[in-house]
Amino acid sequence: MKKIILGLLLLLTLNLASCETKQNTITVLTSSGYEPYEMIDTDGNLTGFDIDLMNALADELAIEIEWKDVAFEGIIASLQSGQAEIAIAGISPTEDRKENIDFSEIYYNSDVGLTNFLVFKSDQAIESLNDLSGLVVGAQLGTVQATLLESIHEEYNFIVDLRNTNTQIVEEIKADRIDVLVVEKVISDSILASNNELKAVGFESHLDDYSGNAIAFSKGSPYVEQFNSALQTLRDNGTLDELINKWFNT
Ligand code: ARG
């Protein structure tokens, strides 16, 4: 009898211990295929600016994180439904999104509110939005670029075709199924760096609440404040600038 009780106690403690480790591990959503923010390296691991930054923040806060690489389109909904609590994916903290989820302070300014880029095959004569008439223009599903295209396609008379990843759209541009991809500057730079048959031109976007990237949280999450103060620490001690130089100053 004693043995049984001891055994049960042991089981109970083991169980509690495993619950505790689980509690200290939080799942962080990201969406790879967005170089240099997040991509998969040759060993199949997540790498990039957001990955380094989140790992540094987690170290600072002594939290264990578990990465989950998902489709960008599902991220906001997952946070909203409480399936996940944190996401870092080059996310623009727009007013619309703020109705459903919370954001940290901005950690990097990408200027997507002012300028976005049209990426297309070099043999196309495209200089501005006015040259898009009759063309098929793509963007990643669920992004501010997708929203932007939906809001201007009638005025400029183009067809909007959205896909889960920018990589997929680049492939379809090469295969002549899509004419143009719309992305922010650093993404277009990195796409051009590995596709010399493509070129890009910037255009004014007039979306003043779209600039900058922030970490996203489910609404009311206690992590918002913790991450903001960790972010401030990394700003003060130079780590944030180091990471920006590492990933963006090529
Ligand atoms: N900044 C844009 C947005 O928030 C695009 C982000 C796409 N991110 C990604 N990891 N694929 O809508």
CB 29 within 8 A of CB 78: yes
Low-confidence ranges of the chain (pLDDT < 50): 17-22
User: Quick one: pLDDT at residue 104?
Assistant: 98
Q: 43 CA distance to ligand 1 centroid (A)? A: 24
pLDDT in tens, 69-82: 999 999 999 999 99
Query: Any residues with Cβ below 6 Å from ligand 1, and which?
Result: 31, 34, 37-38, 72, 89-92, 112, 140, 143-144
Q: 108 CA distance to ligand 1 centroid (A)? A: 13
Q: 197 CA distance to ligand 1 centroid (A)? A: 24
User: Quick one: pLDDT at residue 114?
Assistant: 76
User: Quick one: pLDDT at residue 145?
Assistant: 95
User: Quick one: pLDDT at residue 100?
Assistant: 96
Distance separating alpha carbons of residues 248 and 93, to the nearest angstrom: 20
What 3 state SS string does the chain have? Answer: CHHHHHHHHHHHHHHHHHHHHHHHEEEEEECCCECCCEEECCCCCEECHHHHHHHHHHHHHCCEEEEEECCHHHHHHHHHCCCCCEECCCCCCCHHHHCCEEEEEEEECCCCCCEEEEEEECCCCCCCHHHHCCCEEEEECCCHHHHHHHHHHHHHCCEEEEECCHHHHHHHHHCCCCCEEEECHHHHHHHHHCCCCEEEEEEECCCCCCCCEEEEEECCCCHHHHHHHHHHHHHHCCHHHHHHHHHHCC
User: Quick one: pLDDT at residue 120?
Assistant: 98
User: From the alpha carbon of 146, which atom of ligand 1 is closest?
Assistant: 12
User: Quick one: pLDDT at residue 44?
Assistant: 96
pLDDT in tens, 231-242: 999 999 999 999
